[in-house]
């Protein structure tokens, strides 16, 4: 979320259920000088409506990717982009990739994934 904000993506908003990780995220935002500019909410990603999101960044385990792929395809607008860190979406072809190993990310344009 912090990097998304640094890259000019607004609003920069994160969802986390784990209270410790939520506290850590807010601390890191404060330490980076982004307090009040980025938000982290204690919300269940599975219950959040993503229909107004145009940029989604996920760091989730491979086992979660297939059901998340279905949610994203059902809810995201046509011009949305999804960036996955550490693990790709197994059935999607990325528009581009960057990095390697634990630092690798995969970017997907929803319009292309739906085709």
- Name the 3-class secondary structure at 48: coil
- Structure pTM? 0.86
**pLDDT of residue 11 exceeding 90:** no
Q: Answer yes or no: are the C-beta atoms of 77 and 54 closer than 8 Å.
A: yes
Place 98 in a pLDDT band, splitting at 50, 70 and 90.
Answer: very high
- Output the pLDDT for position 33: 95
Q: What φ, ψ does residue 73 adopt, rounded to 5°?
A: -65, -35
From-to residues of CATH 3.40.50.150 in the chain: 52-114
Which DSSP letter does residue 35 get? B
- The first and second tokens of residue 86, run together, are 């550490």
Q: Encode pLDDT of 80-92 as tens digits.
A: 999 999 899 999 9
End-to-end CA distance of the chain: 28
> Model confidence over 22-81: pLDDT tens digits?
999 999 999 999 999 999 999 999 999 999 999 998 988 999 999 999 999 999 999 999
Radius of gyration of the chain (CA): 14
Query: What pLDDT does residue 7 have?
Result: 86
Which CATH architecture is the domain 52-114 placed in?
Answer: 3-Layer(aba) Sandwich (3.40)
What's the pLDDT at 4?
86
DSSP code, position 33: T
Q: Which of 18, 89, 82, 22 is nearest to 56 (CA)?
A: 82
């Amino acid at each position: 979320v912090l990097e998304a904000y640094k890259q000019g993506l607004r609003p920069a908003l994160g969802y986390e259920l784990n209270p410790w990780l939520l506290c850590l995220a807010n601390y890191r935002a404060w330490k980076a000088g982004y307090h009040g500019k980025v938000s982290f909410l204690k919300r269940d990603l599975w219950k959040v409506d993503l229909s107004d999101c145009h940029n989604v960044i996920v760091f989730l385990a491979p086992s979660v990717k297939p059901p998340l792929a279905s949610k994203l395809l059902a809810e995201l607008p046509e011009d949305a982009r999804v960036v996955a860190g550490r693990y790709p979406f197994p059935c999607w072809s990325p528009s581009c990739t960057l990095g390697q190993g634990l630092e690798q990310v995969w970017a997907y344009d929803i319009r292309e994934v739906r085709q």
